[in-house]
Structures are given as C-alpha cells and as structure tokens.
Structure 1
Amino acid sequence: MSAPFTHGPLRLWSVTTGPIQENALLIAGTDGQGFLIDPGDDAGRLLTLVRGTGVAVQGILLTHAHFDHIGAVQPLREALRVPVWLHPADLELYRAGAQSAARWNLPFTQPADPEHEITAGQTFTAGDLTLTARALPGHAPGHVVFTAPGLVIAGDTLFRGGIGRTDLPGGNHAQLLRGIREELLTLPGDTAVYPGHGPRTTVDFEARTNPYLQ
C-alpha cells in the first residue's frame, strides 16, 4: 500500500484505476473518518486500500459521472454500506454509464442512482475533515471540485499541463476555462491539485505553465 500524501492533518491516497487510468481518491482526517472520491474501477483494490488504512468511509463523492469515474461505485457502496453523492446535472451521464463503456468495449457495472445530490457550496464533514464542493462545469454539465485546506480534488477540470476534454456531450470549452479561472486559479498558489488523470500539480504551476491558461 502506497504512503499517503499529507496536507496538515489530512491524509490522501491516490489510486490509478482501470484501462483509462483514472485516479480514485481516499481522503481522511486525523480521526480516521473520510470519503472515497471517484471510484472508477478496480473495486477490489480500493476496498483493500480502505481496509488497510482503517479509514471509516462516510460516503462516496463524485466529481462527475463519466463512466471511467463511476465503474466501482456499486460494489463499493454495497461493501462499505455508504451513500453516493452526485450533482443532479450529471444524472443523465451517470445513467448512461454502461452504454458509454460499451462504446469502448469495456466491462462495466451500472450503479443504481445516487442517494443524494450535490449543490455548489455544500460541505461534507467526516470527523475533523471538511470538504467543500464548487461547481465547475464544462467537461461535464454537473462537474464539481472538492476543496480542503491546501488541496483541491479537481476531477477532469485541470490536469498537469492540460484541461478536461470539452468535445464530449454536455461539454463547453469557454465555460470550463472560465470555471478554472474563477474556482481554481483563485486558490492559494501552493494548493495541491489532484486531477482525475495523471500526476498531481499545484495551482501556481498550472497558472504559470499550462498552455491552455496562458
């Protein structure tokens, strides 16, 4: 099991899952309570991580509903007995997960609908961990990011040297760029960015070097 990233009292584990190399994240506070975010595939590996760390997962949070981010939702919600949260603007994408995966000839377990909706500004608390959702559509209609002191879980909005695709159904390039500038680049420069694909980066590094933001 890989060592976690640490941000003050917070611990975060990033696991690359599935053939599309999506990053699933486990985050916890000092008392071991936390959330699982974007469990895209490899449910067995993620369950092993949760049990190995001892984190008491309070819920599954989704940045958005593209199939590569939700493929392990159903087995994990059943194993951990926790609810799932998603922005309602992404429910149509969520329900089309199996259909989307089939276009890639990839196996996929269609999850049942989420129990709860995410709204902009909503906070999620597990022990002494608090995450705040910020709406950031453009890659997907209901995309959100989750912030905590020192970090942002960015999903498929901002990558190291790139941004999320906007040529998929519901995508909007101008909207995505505007959201990145308003919701991410306004964070402190040393804020760690954990994207849905690829390595972590920082707000300052992307503001200075990302070709899509110049």
Structure 2
Amino acid sequence: MTRAREHGTARVWTLPTGPLQENAVLVAGKDGEGFLFDPGDEAGRVLAMVRGAGVTVRGILLTHAHFDHIGAVQPVREALGVPVWLHPADLPLYRMGRASAARWNLPFVQPEAPDHEIKQGQVFTAGDLTLAARELPGHAPGHVVFVGDGFVVAGDTLFQGGIGRTDLPGGNHPQLLAGIARELLSLPDETAVYSGHGPATTIGAERRTNPFLR
C-alpha cells in the first residue's frame, strides 16, 4: 500500500494486487468516507489497506469488469457490507470472469451480480468526497473513469507511457483514443492519473510524452 497522496481534501491510496499487479484504489475525503475501486485480487490485503487508512467505504466502484479488476469483489463486498456499481455494458465481461481467469490458469472467485448501474455523468458522494463518472469505452465496452478534484481513477484507459489494450473482445482502438481525448485530455495538466496498472502519472505528462497520444 502506498502512502496516501493528497488532492485538495481527498486522499488516494493504491495497492497492486494479484499476478497481473492490478491496482486497487481507495479514495476518501477529509472526513474519512470514501469508495474502493477495482478490488482485483488478494482480498485480505485490500481489506488491510482499508483498515489501515481508517476509511469508511460506502461502495465498490468498478472501472470495468476484466477479471483482474474484480477478483476480490465478492469477499470484499461481504466483509465491508457495501454495494457494487458497474456500467451495464460490462455485465457480459463480469459474468465471464471465472472463464477468463481460467484461460490464464488463475484461481478466481466469481462475484455475484452488481447492485447498481453506472451511467455517464453520474455523481458519487461519500461525506465531503464527490466524484463524477465518465464513459470511456474502447478497452472494455462499459469502461468508465471517475473524476475527482485534481485526480482521476482511470482504470485501463491511460497509463504512464501507454494506453489500454484494444485487442481483447469488445476492444476498439479508435474509440479508446477518442474517449481519452474527450474525457481525460480535457482535464487540467496537473490532474493526477491513477491507472489500473503501474505508477500514477499526470494528464500533462502523458499529453507531452505518451507515444500513443501523439
């Protein structure tokens, strides 16, 4: 677990999980209420991050439903007693989690259905924390990103020096690039980007140096 990074009144923690080193992300406001994003694996470590941060989690928000982002959803939702949100266009991927993980010979706990749907522009609040969902398909049909004050939880859309794969079922390269331009590159350069894999970056750094955005 990283030390919390602060953005205005929000704090952000990240924890790489599982064999694919997928980043679970925890975001909270100054009053300690927040959301957990993409608990991908290693539920015990994810729950330890939540406890260590002292955050009251109000829900699990999923950027998308590839198996490496949802592998700890069921045990974590049960332990925390919270609902799960997913964009409906990613329900087929969600339901295929076990089969997808099996192709990599990886163990997987298939989560029960999400509790709620995510839609474009939906606002999520927990205490004094406010986040807005933006649809950004291309890596996955129902991929969304969550924009806060000075940061974005970007899932597998934009990485340090890279972008999400588009060669998986439901992928669309032009759609992903258009979505990044529309929903991410429209943000201020200093906006921190918390990606689904790898280190955090900023919009400005990727605008200047990311070879896929030239």
TM bracket, shorter-chain basis: over 0.9
Which residue number in structure 2 is paired with residue 174 of structure 1?
174
Which residue number in structure 1 is paired with residue 125 of structure 2?
125
TM-score normalised by length of structure 1: 0.99
Which residue number in structure 2 is paired with residue 110 of structure 1?
110
Which residue number in structure 1 is paired with residue 72 of structure 2?
72
d(CA) in 1 for partners of 2:42 and 2:183? Answer: 30
Q: Residues 139-184 of structure 1: CA distance to partner in whole angstroms, max 9, x if unpaired?
A: 0000000000100000000000000000000000000000000100
Give 1:104's aligned amino acid. W
d(CA) in 1 for partners of 2:58 and 2:111? Answer: 18
Give 2:149's aligned amino acid. P
Cα RMSD of the aligned pairs, angstroms, is: 0.6
Alignment of 1:121-200 (within 5 A): 121-200=121-200
d(CA) in 1 for partners of 2:116 and 2:199? Answer: 30
d(CA) in 1 for partners of 2:20 and 2:80? Answer: 24
Give 2:19's aligned amino acid. P
How far did residue 8 of structure 1 move?
1.3
Classify the secondary structure of the residue corresponding to 1:199. coil
How far did residue 54 of structure 1 move?
1.4
Alignment of 1:73-112 (within 5 A): 73-112=73-112
d(CA) in 2 for partners of 1:67 and 1:191? Answer: 28
Which residue number in structure 2 is paired with residue 25 of structure 1?
25
How far did residue 47 of structure 1 move?
0.6
Which residue number in structure 1 is paired with residue 44 of structure 2?
44
Alignment of 1:53-68 (within 5 A): 53-68=53-68
Give 1:29's aligned amino acid. G
- Decide whether aligned partners of structure 1 residues 103 and 175 sit closer, same or farther in structure 2, where only a CA change above 3 A counts: same
Classify the secondary structure of the residue corresponding to 1:190. coil
Which residue number in structure 2 is paired with residue 15 of structure 1?
15
How far did residue 52 of structure 1 move?
1.7
How far did residue 186 of structure 1 move?
0.5
Q: Residues 21-75 of structure 1: CA distance to partner in whole angstroms, max 9, x if unpaired?
A: 1000000001100000000001000111111221000000000000000000000
d(CA) in 2 for partners of 1:97 and 1:182? Answer: 29
Which residue number in structure 1 is paired with residue 212 of structure 2?
212
d(CA) in 2 for partners of 1:150 and 1:118? Answer: 21
Give 1:14's aligned amino acid. T
Give 1:9's aligned amino acid. T
**Structure 1 segments of 4+ aligned residues over 3 angstroms from their partners:** none
Q: Residues 59-98 of structure 1: CA distance to partner in whole angstroms, max 9, x if unpaired?
A: 0000000000000000000000000000000000000000
Identity %: 72
Tell me, which stretches of 5 or more residues in structure 1 are unaligned? none
Classify the secondary structure of the residue corresponding to 1:106. coil
d(CA) in 1 for partners of 2:54 and 2:158? Answer: 30
How far did residue 2 of structure 1 move?
3.7
